[in-house]
Amino acid sequence: SAIDAPAGQQPTATYESAFLKACRREPVPHTPVWFMRQAGRSLPEYLKVREGIGMLDSCERPDLVAEITLQPVRRHRVDAAIYYSDIVVPLRAIGIDLDIKPGVGPVVDQPFRTRADLARLRDLTPDDVPYVTEAIGLLTAELGATPLIGFAGAPFTLASYLVEGGPSRTYENAKAMMYGDPELWADLLDRLADITAGFLKVQIEAGASAVQLFDSWAGALAPADYRRSVLSASAKVFKAVEGYGVPRIHFGVGTGELLGLLGEAGADVVGVDWRVPLDEAARRVGPGKALQGNLDPTVLFAGTRAVETKAREVLDAAAGLEGHVFNLGHGVMPSTDPDALTRLVEYVHTQTAN
Ligand code: CP3
């Protein structure tokens, strides 16, 4: 398949890691585990490093990016690192005036509402993000056999921030454009697909071993609208990074009705939130793809016994899968006890050791 080792090349220790094997649907020594948002505010060492430095400023400092990316790997012994950044970083890199407001999220100074706004979206080149190449160089040297996951926001989720101007519960402006001016919407998503593809390529060429496309808010869409107005842009992103032999993960929240389409867009691994059990998710996704997920992140507040019971349920539902990467159904919540995460990694590893 497209994610097999290049012919005639000796597979590296990273290539043979449990995480990449599970993505390729090969037998694993134990179920690999990582957590979305494993780097960040749940860790005191993160808060310390970030003192007095803005979130987006920290993303442009290779030394900080490498340190923050490594913190959860050292502490929890997770099976993969995820590059410390944010989905809006490539947009800022091409000159969009935006910021991340603590407790709010990404906020765009001038929201995108008209065709004239398309001119604000130019392609991203490696020169726009030298800190990414540098940070990944530092990271691959430190990580040894532990794979690094690169990531980007998917065109729909990025468009939702650009058009709304900030986080939204209803996406009324973005969806109004999608329904009311489908040509402008299609052009906007196509521009975002090119930017996203460019950003993922920089990460892969610098040494990322897998990539995840976060379409966090795609669950706001009916399947017919996702198919008509979103799928081709995300498919363009996956197609652009197909030739590298790195697994491509596709994740969104509340996407139970979209799981088949998330796979169809071109992913090797489909991320599942906690609302659909993994055995049912596998039926919806169909054969030939691994699944990632899907413990409810709030279970981590319920004590060790509850965590283990619910993690066991996830593993039982995953028993018949072709490939399973254990994760939460969405990101780690900031007030999570880090020790609960460390214990969960240990639990999944011991329960699944072959
Ligand atoms: O997963 C990781 O550990 C890697 C780092 C990462 C961040 N953001 C760091 C971050 C990743 C993968 C993201 C992706 C991201 N960012 C998504 C997709 C994943 C998801 O959660 O669905 C989205 C939608 C965003 C946009 C965003 N950035 C939001 C909604 C917020 C929260 C705002 C808040 O303060 O509540 C952010 C900020 C953000 N991104 C933080 C971190 C560590 C917190 C900022 C801080 O430390 O002050």
Q: pLDDT tens digits for 267-278? A: 999 999 999 999
Q: pLDDT tens digits, residue range 255-297?
A: 999 999 999 999 999 999 999 999 999 999 999 999 999 999 9
CA of 341 to the centre of ligand 1 (A): 18
Which atom of ligand 1 lies closest to the CA of 157?
24
> Whose Cα sits closest to atom 31 in ligand 1?
105
CA–centroid distance, 37 to ligand 1, in Å, is 7
CA of 130 from ligand 1 middle (Å) equals 21
36 in contact with ligand 1, CB cutoff 6 A: yes
The reported pLDDT for the residue numbered 272 is: 98
Q: What is the pLDDT of residues 57-75, one digit of tens each?
A: 999 999 999 999 999 999 9
Q: Does a structural domain hold residue 12?
A: no
Ligand 1, pocket-test mutation among 34, 37, 214, 294, most atoms within 8 A of CB:
37
- Is 1 within the bounds of a domain? no
Beta carbons within 10 angstroms of residue 275's beta carbon: 15
Q: What is the DSSP string of 74-99?
A: HHH--S-EE-S--TTHHHHHTT--EE
Question: Does position 175 have pLDDT exceeding 70, yes or no?
Answer: yes
Query: Per-residue pLDDT averaged across 24-30, rounded?
Result: 98
Q: Are 14 and 25 in contact (CB under 8 A)?
A: no
162 found inside a domain? yes
pLDDT at 4: 74
Give the atom of ligand 1 at the shortest distance from the alpha carbon of 151. 12
Which residue's alpha carbon is at the smallest distance from atom 42 of ligand 1? 40
Spatial contact of 269 and 301, defined as CB atoms under 8 Å apart = no
- Distance from Cα 40 to the centre of ligand 1, integer Å: 8
In the block, which residue shows the tokens 């939702």?
Answer: 160
Q: What is the pLDDT of residue 325?
A: 98
Active site residue 337: no
In this prediction, residue 243 has a pLDDT band, given cuts at 50, 70 and 90, of very high
What's the confidence (pLDDT) of residue 6? Answer: 66
Paired tokens of 194: 């090119």
Has residue 4 been placed in a domain?
no
Domain that holds residue 48: 18-352
Residue 227 burial (C-beta neighbours within 10 Å; 0-12, 13-18, 19+): middle
What's at 333, amino acid-wise? M
Rounded to the nearest angstrom, the distance between the alpha carbon of 8 and the centre of ligand 1 is: 40
Q: Which contacts of 108-114 are long-range, i.e. CB under 8 A and separated by 24 or more positions?
A: 108/161, 108/162, 108/164, 108/165, 108/166, 110/165, 111/162, 111/163, 111/164, 111/165, 111/173, 112/159, 112/162, 112/163, 112/188, 113/163, 113/173, 113/177, 114/184
ipTM over 0.95: no
At 11 the pLDDT is 82
- pLDDT tens per residue, range 301-352: 999 999 999 999 999 999 999 999 999 999 999 999 999 999 999 999 999 9
* Region 13-38 average pLDDT: 98
pLDDT of residue 109: 95
C-alpha span between 194 and 197 (Å, rounded) = 5
Average pLDDT, the chain: 97
Residue 288: inside a domain, yes or no? yes
Predicted local confidence at residue 136, as pLDDT: 98
- Look at residue 10 in the predicted model and tell me its pLDDT: 73
Give pLDDT, residue 1.
65
Ramachandran angles phi, psi of 225, nearest 5°: -75, -40
The answer to whether residue 99 is catalytic is: no
Residue 120 inside a domain? The answer is: yes
pTM of the model: 0.96
- 37 has binding-site annotation: yes
Confirm whether residue 40 is marked as ligand binding: yes
Candidate list 24, 46, 86, 92, residue with the active-site label? 86
107-137 per-position pLDDT tens digit: 999 999 999 999 999 999 999 999 999 999 9
9 in any annotated domain: no
* Mean local confidence (pLDDT), 77-81: 98
Q: What is the CATH number of the domain that holds 292?
A: 3.20.20.210
161 a catalytic residue: yes
Decide if 295 is inside a domain: yes
What is the rounded average pLDDT of the residues 208-223? 98
Domain count of the chain? Answer: 1
Sheet holding 148-153, edge to edge: 81-82, 148-153, 210-214, 248-251, 269-271, 290-295, 324-328
74 in a labelled binding site: no
Q: Whose CA is nearest to atom 7 of ligand 1?
A: 86
